[in-house]
Amino acid sequence: SRFETCWPALMKDSHGVIIIFNPELPSHLKEIEMWYSCFVQQQPLLDSQCLLIAHHKPGSAEDTENLSLAHPLNKLKLIHSNLEEDPEDVRMEFMKYFRSIINLINESREREEMSIIS
């Protein structure tokens, strides 16, 4: 990819990774493995800091709803977004994800402060 030289800058100090893909494209299913490897495993981030979004275009095939991803992607939180049918659902899941990231950041900050004190 043309942008690989920018990746270290993108990754620096990141607390979470959201990977959005089209579940109808087999090439995307291969690519998300690469994104996961580079942006989550090599950082290293926890799996809980990564969110997968399978984005369904209007009028797309319904059979991709039962997506079964290979290991290690199957351990990640996966949400299906279909903005025509259920935008509110996606918004709720986003909020849950952001809250969990904020909690992680606060916990690690508290741990750092405690280690400085002791």
CB 65 within 8 A of CB 93: no
CA–CA distance, 70 with 85 (Å, rounded to integer): 27
**What is the pTM assigned to this prediction?**
0.83
pLDDT one-digit tens code per residue, 52-102:
999 988 777 665 567 888 889 999 999 998 877 778 888 999 999 999 999
In what side-by-side order are the strands of the sheet with 50-55?
Answer: 17-21, 50-55, 77-81
Dihedral angle sign, alpha carbons of residues 99, 37, 35, 60? negative
What domains does the chain contain, in order, with CATH numbers?
A: 4-117 (3.40.50)
Given the DSSP bridges, would you call strands 17-21 and 50-55 parallel, antiparallel or unpaired? parallel
